[in-house]
Structures are given as structure tokens and as C-alpha cells.
Amino acid sequence: MTDASQTAAAPVPLSARLDRVGVVVALIAIVGMDWQPFATLKPNRLVSGQGLGLGSALPTFWAAIGIGILSLATILAVLRTGARLRLATGIVSLLMLALLIGLVPAHVVPPDNSFARVSPGAGFWLMALAFAVLTTDAIAKLKLGPLARLLLLAAAIAATALILGSGHWDGLSILKEYATNADKFWREGRQHILLAVASLAAAIVVGLPLGIACHRHATLRGVTLPVLNIIQTVPSMAMYGLMIVPLGLFAASFPIAAQLGIRGIGTAPALIALFLYSLLPVVANTVVGLAEVRRSVVEAAEGMGMTKHQRLMQVELPLALPVILTGIRIVLVQNIGLVTIAALIGGGGFGTFVFQGIGQAATDLVLLGAVPTIALAFTAAVLLDAVIELTERRRL
Amino acid sequence: MIELDHVSRRFGEQLAVDDVSFAVERGTITVIVGTSGSGKSTTLRMINRLIEPTSGTITIDGKDTTAVSGEELRRGIGYVIQGNGLFPHWTVARNIATVPTLLGWDSAKIARRVDELLALFSMKPEDFREKFPHQLSGGEQQRVGVARALAAEPGLLLMDEPFGALDPIIRAKAQEDLLAVQRRLGITVVLVTHDMEEAIHLGDRIAVMDGGKLLQYAPPAEILAKPAPGFVAKLVDGADRPFRLLSLAPVSSIVEPGTAEGPPILETATLRDALSELLWHRRDALPVTAADGSTRGKISLSNLVAHAGGAA
């Protein structure tokens, strides 16, 4: 008892009362709030604009509320507080930012001016980053189960959809770009997902049997994995370029291929390149997953009288599944990013907006391509992580 | 009956099993004992053809094991390995049902059999059916492993170091369970171990192997009393050899007519127990009784000592 009371009486050092992640979050948030413009106002879509601080971008009332809440959140982030409170702080701050940025256009642009553009400034993005880190850190600290994480993801998607649907952000530049490109946006979105998922599906169809064969035959493994490794090191830009000539020749010599849409540029080379990149993670993880199945379990299956096929389907593959799914997660997230570059060879996808935007020096158009790509990759990662954890539960 | 006839197995240059022949009687426990690399596991695995012999033949009840496919053969033979090899992604019930499912039994029959086996190994079916292997203790996992091997009612059970991963107390319990189950079901067991103590305790006959060769194949008493010179002699040599020998025979085997003073000894007790009682109570002889309490005669220290030695 005396020991405990002495410990309690000792002064707690300052470092013990601060949260390490929180300090980083706070530093980023403070830089974003005090030194960087919250929003940018441009006379039209192409010229560079003028930065607006929180005070000048918003009506006084909202500016005061915003500064108050975000400052309080910053202080809460620094202090050692419970994970639930941190999660609530992060979510409230992100919602606050979403609300505030939507209020800017009406405040700074005269109603009759349709050329002026308002976009989120560096301050907004820094704060959004800071509080997103706070939120994800809190989620990690809460050690939520896979289903709870999926629920949070669904809630985040629903909240975003709700804000977009309400029209609260319609005054922002990126949504004005969307308004003029709405049809194309959904078409390229579909194409983006199609390219990422179709190349993944092809990689699974080819990679899984190849991985199983590599597991069984050391010689095949010794040849296959190094080759796939080399493919993986080819820069994506070069890979797309390399596809053009052989596929062009192929289409020229086989008219049927050309009729099917196989050409040097477009969807076909994009799919093939993505497929090639996807093979290594699928094959390698299949090999590793199968190799990790305990020897005694495989031997028991054999000793019970299972055939090779029964052993594979009933014992080896189910036990290797979490590792194989990890490979598939890597591929899907990687592909969603790589598809962006496929736009360069006419493959389509959100990359179309990115490269168009770069060509026109229209940052907002770049964002129209980049933001949904990041959101897609993030969603895929959270989704597959949850699935992997669910399959792992029954594994020793 | 299982007969191995001049069976050899070569791995590359190495002769893992070298011209081994022996026969296992139906309804008995045969223990193959040896150090690692002796060829004992290889010999066991050739019986269910997890490993094919390079030469020689193996017959079970007169039928050559190569007459059917390896899978079909193995479905008819129970198999238990060290560390149990339970399927971690399946429940206890699904694990036990492995072979019946492979054989295409209907689900009601399988469910009945699973409950029957769990009860046989004193595990409450309703408590254990839906558990996963990682939720069981080491001893429970071992029992489920044996239950799984017995699921399709095989006449033959092969066990490869089945108790190797268990701590001593659970191990002793598992050995008693095996003896009880074997007696009850009358199955034939071939068990591999590196532990001579275990071999003497469990085996009706012991096959000692070294360097791929079968050195001696005999009942435990003979192995202890008349070990083949060389490796086997060294293996059984030790201060407790007379006591091991005494532990193999029951009191009833040397009971003499007459009476004696002192606490009575059951005729089913081992000679080792009798020696212990005689020494503790400082007696030259003690009365022997049957389980119902009736007197059977006496056991004397001098007669007991005469049975504790090797060849004179």
C-alpha cells in the first residue's frame, strides 16, 4: 500500500501525459489552421488564385465556431485521452471541416459571378489529414473487430454520399468540374473498376493454379518466381509502352483480334499490363500460404486417405486462404492505383481526368480523378482486410 | 494379421529399412521402438502405403496391400501422428467425421458415430462437438486425434509417436486410455516410439529397430530378460530393469498355496506392486486375494526375487 501511494504522489512527467501520435496530429493541424490558407479563390478555373484564411473564408459566426471546435480537438488530440473520445474527436473534426468548406463559396463569391472558383486550400487538406490520422489511430487503438470496421466504413461512405447528395459542396470547384463531366465521370469510374477487377480476376484464374503447381514442383517454382519478379520491376509507364508494338502487330495480322477491340492502345494493353503486375503477388502468396500449412496436418490428411485433390480443396487451400487473400488485397489496391496511368495509352479510368487536368493546368480536374481513386483504393483495402481477418479467425 | 515379408525401402543411396520381416497378431499391440533414423516410422508408413516399399510384400489378413489404391487402403486403417495433426479449420465433430465423410456415410450415421466416440473418450458430446482444435487442451486434442482415427471402425490402428508431444501426467493417462480402448474394441495396434518404457508398458510384442534393421521381435519380458546382444541389450540395460520385468507379470502368476500375515494383495496387481508392499511392510510373505475378497494363497519374497532376474 505504501508503495502505491508513493508512486501516486510522484509527479507525472509531462511526456507521460502527452500522446505521441496526438503531438504529430496537433502539429499538422496547427500548421494547417494558422499558417496555410483554408480555401483558394480564383477568378476563373485556370489562373492561380488567392489564399483565404479561416477568418476571411467564412462568415464570422462560423469562423469562430470552426476555430473553437478545431482548436479544442487539437488539444484533446495532444492529451492522453481514451480511444473512444479520440475517435469521437476525429469524426467531429472531419465533419466540421466538411461543413465549413461547403460554406466558403457562398460567402466569398458574389451570386452573379459564375467564373470564380473556390477550392479547398492547403490548410484544409492538412487539417483533414491530421484528423483522419487521429481517427484511424483511434480505430486501431480500439482494436475493433472486422465487422465493426466494415460498419464504420459503410458509415463513412454513407456520410460522404449524404453530403454530396445534399448539394452542400456544389459550390466547390471540384464539383463544378464534376458537373461539366458527370456522364464521363461515371463512365470512367466504371472503366477504372472494370480494369482493376478484371485484371485481378484474370490473375487469380491463372495465378492460383500456377501457385499450386509451383508449390508442388520446386523446379517450376525456381523458374516462375524470378521471372514474375522481373516483370514486377518494369516501370508501369514502360510496361504500357512495351504493349503498344506487339499488340498493334497482332491486331494488324489477325483482323479478328482487331474486331474484338485488341489494339496497341486502349483497354487490351492496359488489361494485359495490369494482369502481368498482378501475377507475382497472387502466385507468391499462394506458394507461401501453402508452404505454411503445418506438415502434420497435411500428413494427417494423407494418412486419412484423402486424395491429392481432396487434400488441396479441403485442407491446404482453406488453411492457406488468409495468406492468398493478402496477396489479392495487395493486387487490388496496387491495380486501382496503376489503372490511373493506363489512361496514358487510352485505357480510360479516372486517370483520364488526371492527365487532362495536367494538360490544361486545371488542378481541380486532376483532383476529380485523384480523389475518387484514393477513396476506391482505401475502400478496397479496408474491405479486404476485414475479409482476411474473418477467414483467419478459425486458423491456429 | 499383418505380415511384413522381406520389406526394404531405399531413399536414394540410403537404405532406410533393410529386409524387415515380422508378423502382427490380430487384436494385439505391437510397438516398434528405436532411435531417430532407425527406420521405425518408415516401416509404419509402409503398412498404410504412405511410403511404398522398394522391395518385399506387406499383407493384411492375407491380402496384399497393393491390391487396392493407397487412398482406399488408408481409409480402412486408423492413423494417428505426433502432434495429432487435427485440421485447425474444422470443428471436433468435422475432424472426427473425416474418414466416414470420405467413405460417404449418411450424415445421421456420422453424427451418431461422432457422439459415440466422444463419449468413449470421456468427452461430453454436447460440450465438445462444436469446439475448434485450438480450444482444446493437449490431452483433449490427442484424444480427438485417436477418436478421428477410429471413426470408420478400422480393425487396424497405426500410431506414430502418438504421445510424444504430451507432458508426463497426461501421457500416462493417454496410454491407459489407449489400453482400455484397445481391449474394449479388440483392434490391432502398431505403435512407433523411441521410449523403451512406453514400449514395455503398452506392447504385447516389441520390435526393436536400429539402422533400418529389425534386431529383435519378442514379448517385452523376453526383451528384458534375454535381449539380443549389442543395441537391444544396451537399450534395456539400466538400474530399474528388474523392476520393469516385475511390472509385466501379475501376482496370480506366482501365487503359492498357504497363508501369510499382513495386508492382502490383489491377484491382479503386478509383481512390482507386490515387491513394493513386501518391502514396505517388512514381510517375507503376504496373503493374496481375488477381487471378491476370497483368499487365493500367498506370495513370498524369495519366490518373487527369483522372477526378477535375467538369464543366469
Q: Nearest chain B residue to A307 by CA: give it.
A: B71
Q: Which domain holds residue A320?
A: 179-392
Residue A156 domain flag: no
Q: Is pLDDT of A247 > 80? A: no
What pLDDT, in 10s, does the model give residues A197-216?
999 999 999 999 999 999 99
| Domain end point (choices A87, A118, A143) | A143
Q: Is pLDDT of B216 > 60? A: yes
B143 and B217 co-located in one domain:
yes
3-class SS of residue B4: strand
How much is the pLDDT for B270? 86
β-pair partners for B160: B81, B192
Angle at B131 between CA B126 and CA B133, to 5 degrees: 140
| Domain end point (choices B225, B243, B261) | B243
A137 and A50 co-located in one domain:
yes
Residue A298 domain flag: yes
A81 and A186 co-located in one domain:
no
Residue A5 domain flag: no
B25 and B133 co-located in one domain:
yes
A215 and A353 co-located in one domain:
yes
Give chain A's domain count: 2
Residue A167 domain flag: no
Q: Nearest chain B residue to A321 by CA: give it.
A: B89
A203 and A71 co-located in one domain:
no
Shortest distance, CA A301 to any CA of chain B (angstroms): 8
B221 and B289 co-located in one domain:
no
The enclosing domain of B281 has a CATH number of 3.90.1280.20
Helical ranges in B163-300 per DSSP H: 168-185, 196-202, 220-225, 231-236, 241-246, 271-280
Residue B312 domain flag: no
A124 and A190 co-located in one domain:
no
B289 and B148 co-located in one domain:
no
Residue B311 domain flag: no
A191 and A120 co-located in one domain:
no
The enclosing domain of A23 has a CATH number of 1.20.140
B40 and B70 co-located in one domain:
yes
Start-to-end CA distance of chain A, whole Å, equals: 42
Asked whether the beta carbons of B173 and B142 are under 8 A apart, the reply is: no
Average model confidence (pLDDT) across chain B: 90
Which of B71, B85, B89 lies closest to A296 in CB terms?
A: B85
Task: Retrieve residue A53's grid coordinates.
Answer: 484564411
Which of B71, B79, B87 lies closest to A307 in CB terms?
A: B71
pLDDT confidence bin for B103, thresholds 50/70/90 = very high
> Which residues in chain B have their CB less than 8 angstroms from residue A300's CB?
79, 81, 84-87
Residue B133 domain flag: yes
Residue B218 domain flag: yes
Residue A129 domain flag: yes
Instruction: Give residues 267 to 306 of A whose Cβ lies within 8 Å of B.
Output: 294, 296-297, 299-306
How much is the pLDDT for A111? 81
What pLDDT, in 10s, does the model give residues A76-121?
999 888 889 999 999 999 999 999 999 999 888 888 887 888 989 9
B179 and B263 co-located in one domain:
no
pLDDT confidence bin for B310, thresholds 50/70/90 = low
Residue B217 domain flag: yes
Could you tell me how many residues make up chain B? Answer: 312
A309 and A246 co-located in one domain:
yes
A139 and A281 co-located in one domain:
no
Residue B297 domain flag: yes
Asked whether the beta carbons of A134 and A25 are under 8 A apart, the reply is: yes
Grid cell 461515371 — which residue?
A186
How much is the pLDDT for B224? 86
The enclosing domain of A219 has a CATH number of 1.10.3720.10
Grid cell 514381510 — which residue?
B283
What DSSP letter does each residue of A315-346 carry, written as one string? Answer: IIHHHHHHHHHHHHHHHHHHHHHHHHHHGGGT
What strands, in cross-sheet order, belong to the sheet with B265-266? B265-266, B285-289, B295-300
A291 and A373 co-located in one domain:
yes
Residue A154 domain flag: no
Residue A173 domain flag: no
Asked whether the beta carbons of A172 and A113 are under 8 A apart, the reply is: no
B108 and B257 co-located in one domain:
no
**Of B243, B299, B297, B301, residue with least CA distance to B272:** B243
Q: Which domain holds residue B184?
A: 2-243
> Which residues in chain A have their CB less than 8 angstroms from residue B79's CB?
300, 303-304
A250 and A376 co-located in one domain:
yes
Q: Which of A304, A309, A314 to mutate to test the interface with B (most CBs of B within 10 A)?
A: A304
**Of B220, B257, B212, B300, residue with least CA distance to B16:** B212
**Least confident among A42-56, A244-258, B100-114, B193-207:** A244-258
Count CA atoms closer than 13 A to A341's CA, side-chain side.
14
State the average pLDDT over residues A356-380.
91
Residue B198 domain flag: yes
Q: Nearest chain B residue to A315 by CA: give it.
A: B87
Task: Retrieve residue B90's grid coordinates.
Answer: 474444422
| Domain end point (choices A143, A163, A188) | A143
| Domain end point (choices B191, B220, B243) | B243
Distances from the Cα of B134 to the Cα of A3, B91, B125, angstroms: 40, 10, 17
Residue A189 domain flag: yes
> Which residues in chain B have their CB less than 8 angstroms from residue A308's CB?
none
pTM for the model stands at: 0.80
| Domain end point (choices A87, A117, A143) | A143
B50 and B95 co-located in one domain:
yes
3-class SS of residue A156: helix
B8 and B24 co-located in one domain:
yes
| Domain end point (choices B223, B243, B263) | B243
Q: What is the ipTM of this complex?
A: 0.82
A133 and A192 co-located in one domain:
no
B74 and B168 co-located in one domain:
yes
Q: Is pLDDT of A7 > 60? A: no
Which of A296, A297, A304 lies closest to B99 in CB terms?
A: A304
How much is the pLDDT for A396? 42
Residue B128 domain flag: yes
What pLDDT, in 10s, does the model give residues B245-259?
888 888 888 888 888
What pLDDT, in 10s, does the model give residues A25-78?
999 999 998 889 999 998 887 777 888 988 888 999 999 999 999 999 999 999
For chain B, say whether A307 makes contact (Cβ under 8 Å). Answer: yes
A119 and A238 co-located in one domain:
no
Ramachandran region, residue A288 (left: φ > 0; alpha: ψ -120 to 50; beta: rest)? alpha
**Of B9, B6, B10, residue with least CA distance to B58:** B6
The enclosing domain of B168 has a CATH number of 3.40.50.300
Contact A304 B74 (CB under 8 A): yes
B299 and B210 co-located in one domain:
no
Give chain B's domain count: 2
Q: Which of B41, B71, B134 to mutate to test the interface with A (most CBs of A within 10 A)?
A: B71
Asked whether the beta carbons of A352 and A188 are under 8 A apart, the reply is: yes
Cα–Cα distance measured from residue B18 to residue B13, given in angstroms and rounded to the nearest whole number = 13
